[in-house]
C-alpha cells in the first residue's frame, strides 16, 4: 500500500465518507453515513475515532454530512468546511499532508475538491461536479491517484424514474459528472501521469458499476492505469 492512500467507507448519491491517510495523519473525508458506521469502518482499519486528525468536507449536502452532528458530539477534532475554514486557494497542511482545495460547479455553495500531496505522492479527489472546469483540470493534472465522480449514464438518466426537474438538475452544469464526461477527463489525465483511478459517487438509479467501469476503461484505453469502482455501501481500499 502506498504511504498516501484512501479507503472509501461508502460512495454513492446516498452517502459518502472515506479516510485519507499518510503515516499517522488520518483525515475523514466527508461524513455522509452514520457516525456508527464511520466508527465501525475506522475500527476495521485498527483505528479509533480519536485517531482522526481532522474532518474535511466537500460541501453541505446531506449525503456528505449526515453523520457529522453525532460525530461532533463525541469528538473534538477540527472540522474543515470549504469557504469558512479554508477560503483561499492557498494550500494548507494537516499533519504532513499538503492539501489544495479547488472549487467545483455544483448546486451547493461552496463546494470543492482536493489535491493531496505527501512527499512525491499525489492523490486527487473530486465528486459532485456538473462539469470539469479549467480550475479542476489544472488541480488534477499530474496526480498519480484519482478518486473521481462517475455519477450517471445519460441514457439511464433520460429513461429513468426521476421527475424531469430532477433529471435536469443532475445533468446541469451545477449537477453531477456523467460517465462520458468522466471518461473524457481520464483520457486527458492519463497522458499527464495518472496511474490509478477509483470511480466514485455512482447514482444507484441512473448508473451501474459496469456502465461506469466500461466508459472509464474506454477513456483510459492505451494507458497503463488501474481502474476500480468504489462500492456504494462497503469499504473499498483504493491502493
Give residues in contact with Zn ion (CB under 5 A): 61, 63, 128
Q: Which residue is nearest to Zn ion (CB)?
A: 61
Closest to Zn ion by CB, 8 vs 122, is: 8
When the beta carbons of 15 and 219 are compared against Zn ion, the nearer one is 15
**Min dist. Cβ of residue 1 to Zn ion (A):** 27
By C-beta, is 157 or 220 nearer to Zn ion? 157
Closest distance of CB 128 from Zn ion, Å: 4
CB of 204 to Zn ion, least distance (A): 12
**In the complex, least distance from residue 201 CB atom to Zn ion, rounded to whole angstroms:** 6
Q: What are phi and psi for residue 54, nearest 5 degrees? A: -170, 160
Shortest spacing between CB 95 and Zn ion, in angstroms: 26
* Residue whose CB is less far from Zn ion, 17 or 220: 17
Give the whole-angstrom CA distance, residue 107 versus residue 100: 21
Q: 45 Cβ partners below 8 Å, 6+ apart?
A: 7, 19
Nearer to Zn ion, 128 or 181 (CB): 128
Amino acid at each position: 500500500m502506498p504511504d498516501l492512500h484512501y479507503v472509501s467507507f461508502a460512495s454513492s448519491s446516498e452517502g459518502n465518507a472515506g479516510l485519507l491517510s499518510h503515516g499517522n495523519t488520518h483525515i475523514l473525508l466527508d461524513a455522509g453515513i452514520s457516525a456508527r458506521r464511520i466508527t465501525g469502518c475506522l475500527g476495521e482499519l485498527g483505528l479509533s475515532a480519536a485517531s482522526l486528525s481532522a474532518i474535511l468536507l466537500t460541501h453541505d449536502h446531506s449525503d456528505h454530512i449526515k453523520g457529522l452532528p453525532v460525530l461532533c458530539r463525541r469528538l473534538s477534532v477540527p472540522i474543515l468546511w470549504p469557504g469558512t475554514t479554508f477560503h483561499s486557494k492557498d494550500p494548507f497542511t494537516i499533519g504532513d499532508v499538503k492539501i489544495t482545495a479547488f472549487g467545483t460547479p455544483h448546486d451547493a455553495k461552496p463546494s470543492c475538491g482536493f489535491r493531496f500531496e505527501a512527499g512525491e505522492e499525489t492523490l486527487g479527489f473530486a465528486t459532485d461536479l456538473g462539469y470539469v472546469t479549467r480550475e479542476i483540470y489544472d488541480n488534477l493534472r499530474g496526480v498519480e491517484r484519482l478518486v473521481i465522480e462517475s455519477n450517471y449514464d445519460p441514457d439511464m438518466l433520460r429513461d429513468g424514474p426521476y421527475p424531469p426537474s430532477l433529471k435536469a438538475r443532475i445533468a446541469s452544469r451545477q449537477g453531477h459528472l456523467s460517465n462520458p464526461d468522466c471518461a473524457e477527463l481520464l483520457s486527458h489525465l492519463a497522458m499527464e501521469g495518472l496511474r490509478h483511478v477509483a470511480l466514485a459517487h455512482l447514482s444507484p438509479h441512473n448508473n451501474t458499476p459496469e456502465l461506469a467501469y466500461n466508459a472509464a476503461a474506454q477513456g483510459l484505453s492505451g494507458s497503463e492505469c488501474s481502474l476500480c469502482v468504489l462500492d456504494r455501501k462497503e469499504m473499498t481500499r483504493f491502493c
